[in-house]
Amino acid sequence: MRTIRQDMIDILARGEYTARDLSQMLRLREKDVYDHLVHISRSLSSRKLKLTVVPARCLHCSYVFESRNRFTKPGRCPRCRGEHIEDPRYRVE
């Protein structure tokens, strides 16, 4: 039986997508996408795959949110206080 998480894994194995992309492709709320991503990242290790997060980046000063562990997007840049943040993207490899 196919599940939303399996569909999500298949999509992310083909390319990089933001939570918003995934919410539109799978017709989920963005909040639910993040919940699924957390579960996917835990379950993939047993399949020798991993969920890679391309970190969020400030579009104003290019600050990269490297150390960020959470999946959700940050609200504000700690360096320039800018609020134009490029969404983190996800892929499975």
- Residues lying near Zn ion in the complex (CB under 5 A): 58, 60-61, 63, 77, 79-80, 82
Query: CB of 33: closest distance to Zn ion in angstroms?
Result: 25
Q: Which is nearer to Zn ion, 19 or 58 (CB)?
A: 58
Q: What is the C-alpha to C-alpha distance for residues 48 and 81, in angstroms, rounded to an integer?
A: 38
Q: Which is nearer to Zn ion, 15 or 78 (CB)?
A: 78
Q: Which is nearer to Zn ion, 13 or 61 (CB)?
A: 61
What does 10-57 look like in DSSP terms, one character per residue?
HHHHHS-EEHHHHHHHHT--HHHHHHHHHHHHHHGGGGT--EEEE--E
Query: CB of 91: closest distance to Zn ion in angstroms?
Result: 24
Query: CB of 93: closest distance to Zn ion in angstroms?
Result: 28
Length of the chain: 93
Q: What is the C-alpha to C-alpha distance for residues 74 and 56, in angstroms, rounded to an integer?
A: 7
